[in-house]
Structure 1
Amino acid sequence: MGFRRSALITGLGGALVLASLPATASATTWRYLTIKGLSRAGKVPWITAQIYDPAAQKSWPVMGRDNAVAKLPDKRTYEIYATLARAEPNEAPENTVVLTTFKLSKGHDKVTLSAKSGKPIDVSVGDSSVQGRIRVHVRHGAMDFTTDDVPGRLYAVPVKRSGVTFSQGSTWTGSGVLYRLGTSYSGGVPAGVTQHVTKADLASVKVTYRSFGDGMKVNPRCRGAIWGGDDEMWLDAPATVTEYVQPGAACKRELWYESSSHPLFGNVTVGTRTYAKGEALAETWNAAVFAPAAPGGYRTGDTLHYAPANLLSDGPGNWGFDQFTIANVKLRTGTKTLGLDAYEPDVTLGKKTAAYRLDVTATRDGAEATLSDRVQVSWVFKSARTSKKTALPLTTVRFAPRGLDDRNAAAPGSTTEIPVRVVTNPGATAHAVTTLKVEASTDGAKTWQTLPVANGVASVVNPAQAGYVALRATVVDNAGNQVTETISRAYRVTG
């Protein structure tokens, strides 16, 4: 594998030059390209650009106040993706996206980019209570050039270019309201982008974001081909927001969270979704119990692979992780401990069928007053050499307590019903459960009480004083596979 090193050089007129240099010596003759610009008003703008070599799929970022100078290898045709920003005194700021190609032929060439023919990116939602931000993406191969600004200040110069896609995504926020819109075009930059909608044109999703730690803030996001990217809408949790979403557009929903009172930073995510026009849905995120959503793990030949992922997924099954979580993994067979851990997820096993025990512990680092501060899973299973990639015969237990409030708390002295569901590793054969034992602890896991389970629902009589309830489940199936799952601070009890 080759490595690159970067050089930052001050160029002419205060411009910045950023070039990627090869780690090994070569006979490359370096050439320079000076990019100048004109705003739509014919004045000198601030230039931010990426110079892209589509053949090598490499790019060079450059910027400058009156010009930008790039140091490039070889005589060849480059694509230039640029934003020309006007920010003169007493003038309204604006950004214009410009795309062109340029064949570098001399030792030092020059090109001028003009925003004069820029067309407005005109987007609105018909709701005066919200404020919007638009993000533009121009993509070709490995290039993804982005520009963002508020509505009314973004323009793009039309150009036809095979293989280039242009998309805009906008996010509009207000008190308890969030709009997500977007459009996409192929074959270059279109001659004007217009999108005007009202609530009736969209799908609506009423989303409740619960809290599971003190001082929590949450940031709902949506990722996909047309969306505006990362949305900086941070809310104090718990919170309820009505989202109005572009119908038919694929959206990978994410929820980032952080805390100001203790180490807590991570995200919860769900698979890609689409919504239909006029559809009205309701969702809940960050609902207890936070525990493994799916086991994961597989074997190929004599190699077992297991990585501790999604150990803190929420009750509805949205997969999650916490960047301040410490994961400990141990694999044993008999009295022998095998070399498997969180950082080396592969280990070679014996060829014959053997019984294994896989223990995983996830601990939130210093996360006082946080739910699921410690999650432990212990699997016992048999495995033998496989002829192809085969999912390990592992299961997890999902708990979904009913009646908790938006801080994932039950009232003191109340009874909480907890539906219990056994989830098989995707791709593995599901076996009939022969034993299901569910227990609860209200004294910090010092003592445990077996819970009655009827029709897949366990019942907990909550203590009369404030505190936490821990949960533990043991499952055995008719193939002899076993899992014991323990969740410290599964939910709160508070008045």
Structure 2
Amino acid sequence: MGLGRRTLIIGVAGALVLGSLPATASATTWRYLTIKGLSRAGKVPWITAQIYDPAAKKSWPVMGRDNAVAKLPDKRTYEIYATLARNEPGESPENTVVLATYKLSKGHDHVTLSAKGGKAIDLSVGDPSVQGRIRVHVRHGAMDFTTDDVPGRLYAVPVKRSGVTFSQGSTWTGSGTLYRLGTSYSAGIPAGVTQHVTKADLAEVKVTYRSFSDGMKVNPRCRGTAWGGDDELWFDAPTTLTEYVQPGAACKRELWYESSSHPLFGNVTLATRTYAKGTAPVETWNAAVFGPAAPGGYRTGDQLHYTPVNLLSDAPGNWGFDQFTIANVKLQAGTKALGLDAYEPDVTLGKSATTYHLDVTATRDAAEATLSDRVQVSWVFTSARTSKKTVLPLSTVRFAPRGLDDRNAAAPGSTTEIPVRVVTNPGATAHAVTTLTVEASTDGSKTWQTLPVVNGTVSVTNPAEPGYVDLRATAVDSAGNQVTETVSRAYRVAG
């Protein structure tokens, strides 16, 4: 084999399948390792494994029906992370996680992995109305080996190993109910994982996931070292779930969404949090108005960096994006256009204090029923050479309409009160807002009506017929920084 790519040999039911791996030097001396396995009943299992080199932090995937053959560089000690699976007619399906180390010494070595010492991963939530799925992670350095199955079919062979963590995350779903359990162990695979809980042992949080498009589905997720198995939990939106969560386990809350009828796919995300046992505050996700949250952007010396992110964050402040959104970015110094756009986020500025105009437009590539189909933000700010990284003095305007239903709609002919607040870029110096002008349009931004701001709130008289309300605001602070923000289809009017 020549230079450029190297191959991986995988044994599948007696056949050899070649998989590509990264390029390597021609001086590599290749060795072979054949992995065989025994199930807990002493029968030949399916093998799915990762061969990991802790020193190089590289891994090689292998799999096979009765054996798996890996092609590995040189003589060295490797870690083998494997799942031994049985699913033959007349047998109870099961998966056993095995971790072993092996020092490769010959031209072609053989090792047998056994599931006979496997201990059950025994979990329950005391609720017969739900069904569960467990995902197991075994981690070491850059290695993250994953196995998942339903409760009662997962086992793991105990082993002590410094630097290795073992975690399980399980999700249990029923009508309007979602359980999340997560536990992590250090220094190897424990001698059995047992966790039996009831609702009283967990944190209870009621979450409403609103809709902003027809045919919308949502997938609430937790991300963290002790979570997993929720990637395929899709629910029709809008929906309200009562979630029972493992207390004290750090969870980065995410909500992925998709639409069956429109090109729409993205997510909103909340900072990592933990829940205490008992009733937690009610949460609402996907609440209009969707617009820019923290604007981001900074300057170091004469280099300005800006990336158009979080342009479709929901009213509670969960940061969001849509993979079918087109972002257009323009930066000007007076009448001079500077080379900044969504794909080249860095530009060199002059050293002197100059007034800049930064314009961003986000357009959803979606059909008529989608909210915030076009969001425009225009900033005016002054910047000069900095001695260190300095956050740009940008702000955004946040709208949080009251009284919308779970489809983010107001009743025709009703009045909607909208709290309005100006949010400063995190890390930038906050200046008092000297001017705040808010406008609304009910005819697709053809005409605008100025709305008085009273105690931080405006009132919109919604049209008598179904449609949409657009919102526009301009804020100026005491340092002269300005933002003008326009949201097309900020919320819906529907009977």
| Same fold per superposition (TM over 0.5) | yes
For normalisation by structure 2, the TM-score amounts to: 0.98
Residues 115 and 4 of structure 1, relative CA distance in 2, 3 Å threshold: farther
* Residue-by-residue CA offset, 1:382-428 (whole Å, 9 max, x unaligned): 00000111000000000000000000000111110000010000000
Task: Measure, in 2, the Cα distance between the counterparts of 1:291 and 1:93.
Answer: 48
Give matches, 1:1-40, under 5 Å. 5=5, 7=7, 9=9, 11=11, 14=14, 16=16, 21=21, 23=23, 25-40=25-40
Counterpart position of 2:218? 218
**1:399 aligns to 2:399 (yes or no):** yes
Which digits, 9 at most, give the CA deviation of each residue in 1:319-343, with x for residues without a partner? 0000000000000011110000000
Deviations 1:81-112 (A, max 9, x none): 00000111111110000000000000000000
Aligned length: 493
Partner AA of 1:310 in structure 2 = N
**1:274 CA drift (Å):** 0.3
Unaligned runs of 5+ in 2: none
SS state at 2:465 partner: coil
Structure 1 stretch displaced more, 10-19 or 225-234: 10-19
**Deviation of 1:452 (Å):** 1.3
Change (3 A) 1:108 1:101: same
Taking the aligned partners of 1:345 and 1:133, their CA distance within structure 2 comes to 42
1: CA distance between counterparts of 2:354 and 2:12? 69
| 2:290 paired with 1:259 | no
C-alpha change, 1:98 and 1:295, in structure 2 (3 Å) is: same
1:82 — aligned with what?
82
Residue 417 (1) aligns with residue 417 (2): yes
**d(CA) in 1 for partners of 2:428 and 2:95?**
52
- Secondary structure of 2:164's counterpart equals strand
- TM-superposed CA distance for 1:281, in Å, is 2.3
Alignment of 1:71-470 (within 5 A): 71-470=71-470
Residues 376, 485 of structure 1: 8 Å contact kept: yes
CA deviations 1:340-375 (Å, max 9, x no partner) are: 000000000001110000000000013321000000
Confirm or deny: 8 A CA contact 1:49 1:80 kept in the other structure: yes
Residue ranges of structure 1 left out of the alignment (5+ in a row): none
The residue type equivalent to 1:250 in the other structure is A
Secondary structure at 1:200 match in 2: helix
Kept in 1, the 8 Å contact 2:291–2:375? The answer is yes
Structure 1 residue 11: deviation in Å?
Answer: 4.2
Aligned twin of 1:66: 66
Going from structure 1 to structure 2, the CA distance change for 1:160 and 1:10 (only over 3 Å counts) comes to closer
Deviation of 1:183 after TM superposition, in Å, equals: 1.1
Q: Is the 8 A contact 1:258 1:266 kept in 2?
A: yes
User: Residues 209-229 of structure 1, C-alpha deviation per residue, up to 9 Å, x if partnerless?
Assistant: 000011101111010110124
Q: After the TM superposition, list the runs of 4 or more consecutive aligned residues in structure 1 that deviate by more than 6 angstroms.
A: none
What CA distance in whole angstroms lies between the structure 2 residues aligned with 1:132 and 1:460?
A: 46
* Stretch of structure 1 that moved more, 11-20 or 42-51: 11-20
Contact 2:396 2:485 in 1 (8 A): yes
SS of equivalent residue, structure 2 residue 278: coil
Deviation at 1:28, TM superposition (A): 1.2
**Alpha-carbon distance in structure 2 between the residues aligned to 1:428 and 1:26:** 52
| C-alpha separation in 2, matches of 1:17 and 1:464 | 65
Query: Partner amino acid for 1:442?
Result: T
In the superposition, relative to structure 1, how do residues 154 and 32 fare at CA in structure 2: closer, same or farther (>3 Å)? Answer: same
> Within 2, Cα distance between the matches of 1:333 and 1:265?
35
1: CA distance, partners of 2:360 / 2:421: 20
Identity %: 87
CA contact (8 A) 1:18 1:62 kept: no
Contact 1:17 1:62 in 2 (8 A): no
Note closer, same or farther for the CA distance 1:6–1:415 as it changes in structure 2 (3 Å cut): farther
Q: Is the 8 A contact 1:158 1:189 kept in 2?
A: yes
Question: Tell me, what secondary structure is at the counterpart of 1:419?
Answer: strand
Q: Assess, with a 3 A threshold, how the Cα gap between structure 1 residues 147 and 12 changes in structure 2: closer, same or farther.
A: closer
Would you say the 8 A contact 1:476–1:483 is kept in 2?
Answer: yes
Amino acid across the alignment from 1:7: T
Instruction: Describe the superposition over 1:1-55 as per-residue Cα deviations: whole angstroms up to 9, x where unpaired.
Output: xx97453545485255666655354211100000000000000000000000000
The letter of the residue matching 1:241 is L
Change (3 A) 1:4 1:343: farther
In the aligned structure 1, how far is the partner of 2:464 from the partner of 2:99?
A: 67
Partners in 1 of 2:308 and 2:18 — Cα distance? 39
What is the rounded CA distance, in whole Å, between the counterparts of 1:26 and 1:491 in structure 2? 61
Tell me if the contact between 1:17 and 1:68 (Cα under 8 Å) persists in the aligned partners.
no
The superposition leaves residues 234-269 of structure 1 with CA deviations (integer Å, 9 ceiling, x where unpaired) of: 111100000000000000000000001111100010
